[in-house]
A and B are shown apart, each in its own frame.
Chain A
């Protein structure tokens, strides 16, 4: 195995190639449509990292995607396709708003209660989906899709209730401030504090003007925890066994039904947590009537697959995804190219991640060819050696 083929076998290589091809395809489409690809990409990168404020917004946007990405990746490793991340996320936001608005405890209690209830909501939906699969063999894809819609209408129902509906708007009341997880919230709202933040060099403005919150730290911890759970614990081992071969797992005494339910509950909990932290961390801290899905869950599918379903790899994948989404808006503003080009970039990246097996396959072929060549040379060498030492062989050859 040479260094080249070793590099080709690394999963990260597939990801980098996929990203490169995604940008290449987008450039070709931009050229065909009559836009300048170079200035488009300049605008894209400028919109992602041009100012500390932009970076801060990318991180904020990445937070829910990281959670739902881990959720999908985790379930996928257990052989379940959690297309219901969207609904579980929505349920997390709904419950966080109900509890966060109805209760007003001191922050040390309020924040955990709001976040835990939201998480439990997501976990509950996930557990139902997992249990229906384990108990009745009902495909999780159907129930997930159904619960997405049920959650959407549940959100609209709660917003419409008089006790939660903010008059003259399409949204609910905001939760009580005691539940906010926005960083420096108190400082921002006092004159001295705001002044102090503004005076911080470089990032002061970004902190002041964006909803910097604790979400991303929780999300990164969650990614590492889920990675550890999956790869380093007995629980994770059993789940992966279920994902790899359900019958074999059953045969070795692993409780498949329990694991399916538990897996979906954990996956749903992560989505619910994402929803709850969005409510506590980001203004307007409320839910609004949904006309369509906001894709915080569906985009988690893409994040998971860009990360090749590795929970820790979801961290860079979610940043990339959020960066493209956020920076993509600038492309339309400055170059005029439709911002849908970003969807095409992301779609192409995921598509080539799906083709990810190709590069290791090529590496195998290269190695195989090399090995064959080496074998041939060895045979030649051996033939020469035997030629030299065995003259009778030569005679025999001549005779033929």
Chain B
């Protein structure tokens, strides 16, 4: 019983970590008023860049950093489209989701002689070091270091958004860009920064799959986590800590599905696999209800236009 409980906790944390990074990226971008459907693609690029960095240098931390940079670069495209060219942000995001995995796989095939997956690379360390608590029931509590990083990032995003003047600026730009501009805040600069940060975080999210959970890049390493992260942003009502909690809920239902599956119950595993998604919808209907996006979310800012 205790072992199962501990396993439940650790699997929850493992599944939710990539989502947390991706979703926090979404929060940052959308609070500044730019919808980011492209998280999935940015995570995909991060997943590859992380592995590539770790493969080429042997140092997974450099890989993790590469993942952030790659995600940020892809996000720069989205920023240019959405902010400089006032493009439809949904369309641009969908384009990113096509482009980014294409780039990741293309680069993967170039780097690894035409293979659609990488060899195993050095992973990021565990929280308490390799092999700590082995042979005790608590061994699965020795989670990946990314779990802790994700929590710290959530706290940091919360602190910046709600306790600093930059955060106030970001939120004001997302709610009422015209008013912010009259106060001397540059809407463009703020949004550019936020979208790039969102890409960096999504890149970290991708790398926390390929450098912590599975230790290699495959075509399906990122398959839908970015969209779940997107859902978590809305579920968490665009607030960093609520979004963190939403990701934990997703992770928890996934973990539950895994523990209940595998023949432990008479319920078919496919039905159990649907649970997380049904629970999400039911939770939304019963407890969360209407979520109101930042007022200027998705609206291009055109100087001098009527607000």
| B102 & A341 in contact (Cβ 8 Å cutoff) | yes
Q: What are the interface flags for A119-160 relative to B under an 8 Å C-beta threshold, 1 for contact and 0 otherwise?
A: 000000000000010001111011101111110011011001
B94 contacts A350, CB within 8 Å?
A: yes
Give the contacting residue for B99; candidates A83, A157, A291, A348; CB below 8 A: A348
* Interface contact A341-B106, CB-CB below 8 Å: yes
A160 touches B268 (CB 8 A): yes
Known: A344-B103, A351-B77, A354-B81. A305 touches B271 (CB 8 A): no
**Is A387 on the interface with B (CB-CB < 8 A)?**
no
> How distant is B148 from chain A, measured CB to nearest CB, in Å?
28
Contacting B at CB under 8 A, from A339-359, are: 340-344, 346-348, 350-351, 353-358
Residue-wise, chain B 33-56 has the 8 Å CB interface mask toward A (1 for contact) of 000010000000000000000000
Whether, in the assembled complex, A385 has its beta carbon less than 8 Å from a beta carbon of chain B, the answer is no
Whether A138 pairs with B290 at a CB distance below 8 angstroms is yes
Contact: A354 with B231, CB < 8 Å?
Answer: no
User: CA–CA, A353 to B81, complex, Å?
Assistant: 10
Task: Tell me the nearest residue of chain A to B114, going by C-beta.
Answer: A338
A330 to B94 Cα, complex, angstroms: 25
B166 at the interface (CB under 8 A from A): no
Which of B85-93, B153-161, B191-199 has 4 or more CB atoms under 8 Å from chain A? B85-93
In whole angstroms, how far apart are the Cα atoms of A14 and B234 in the complex?
Answer: 32
Most chain-A CB neighbours within 10 Å: which of B97, B114, B270, B285?
A: B270
Are A302's CB and B281's CB within 8 A? Answer: no
Name the one of A33, A149, A347, A357 contacting B95, with C-beta atoms under 8 angstroms: A347
- Count of residues in B whose CB is under 8 Å from the partner chain: 50
Q: Is there an interface contact between A351 and B99, defined as CB atoms closer than 8 Å?
A: yes
- Give B46 Cβ to nearest chain A Cβ, in Å: 17
Q: Most chain-A CB neighbours within 10 Å: which of B95, B271, B276?
A: B95
> What's the minimum C-beta distance from A154 to chain B, rounded to whole angstroms?
7
Query: A357 is contacted by which of B77, B85, B94, B224 (Cβ under 8 Å)?
Result: B85
From the candidates A136, A291, A344, A354, name the one contacting B87 in the complex (CB within 8 A).
Answer: A354
A132 and B285 contact, Cβ closer than 8 Å, known pairs A146-B277, A305-B91: yes
Q: How far is the CA of A293 from the CA of B223 in the complex (A)?
A: 9
The number of A-B residue pairs with CB atoms under 8 Å apart is 145
Q: Quick check: A136 and B99 within 8 Å, CB to CB?
A: no
Kindly state the separation between the CA atoms of A347 and B101 in the bound complex, as whole angstroms: 10
Confirm or deny: A292 has a beta carbon within 8 angstroms of a beta carbon on chain B: yes
Interface size on A, residues (CB 8 A): 48
Choose one: B110, B234, B277, B278; the contact of A338 (CB below 8 Å): B110
- Give chain B residues whose Cβ lies under 8 Å from the Cβ of A344: 99, 102-103, 106
Quick one: which of A33, A142, A340, A355 has the most chain B CB within 10 A? A142
> Across the interface, do B102 and A146 meet the contact criterion of CB distance under 8 Å?
no
Question: In the complex, what distance in Å separates the CA atom of A351 from the CA atom of B276?
Answer: 33
Complex: A136 Cα to B282 Cα, angstroms: 11
Cα–Cα, bound, A137→B291 (Å): 7
**Interface residue? A81 (CB, 8 A):** yes
State which of B91, B271, B289 has its C-beta within 8 Å of the C-beta of A354. B91
- The residues of B that contact A342 with a CB separation of less than 8 Å are 102
When chains A and B are docked, how far (Å) is the Cα of A33 from the Cα of B94?
25
**How many Å lie between the Cα of A93 and that of B66 in the bound state?**
41
A301 within 8 A of B: yes
Give, as a whole number of angstroms, the nearest-CB distance from B217 to chain A.
13
CA distance A358 to B95 in the complex (A): 17
A305 → chain B closest CB, angstroms = 5
Contacting A at CB under 8 A, from B100-129, are 100-103, 105-106, 109-110, 114
| Contact A351–B95 (Cβ < 8 Å) | yes
**Chain B residue, CB-CB nearest to A346:** B98
Known contacts A142-B231, A142-B280, A142-B284; decide if A305 and B94 are in contact (CB<8 Å): yes
Residues in A149-184 with C-beta less than 8 Å from chain B: 149-150, 153-154, 156-157, 160
23 contacts between A and B (CB under 8 A): A81-B90, A132-B281, A137-B289, A137-B291, A138-B291, A139-B234, A146-B231, A147-B277, A149-B277, A156-B270, A156-B273, A160-B268, A301-B94, A305-B94, A305-B95, A336-B114, A341-B102, A343-B99, A343-B101, A344-B102, A346-B98, A350-B94, A353-B91
Q: A-B pairs with the 7 shortest C-beta distances?
A: A343-B102, A347-B99, A137-B290, A347-B98, A351-B95, A157-B270, A350-B95
- Residues of B at the A interface (CB closer than 8 Å) are 37, 77, 81, 85-88, 90-92, 94-103, 105-106, 109-110, 114, 220, 223-224, 227-228, 230-231, 234-235, 268, 270-271, 273-274, 276-278, 280-281, 284-285, 288-291
If A301-B94, A354-B95 are given as contacts, then 12 extra A-B residue pairs at C-beta distance below 8 Å, sorted by A number, are A33-B110, A132-B285, A137-B291, A142-B235, A143-B284, A146-B231, A146-B277, A153-B274, A343-B101, A347-B95, A347-B102, A351-B99
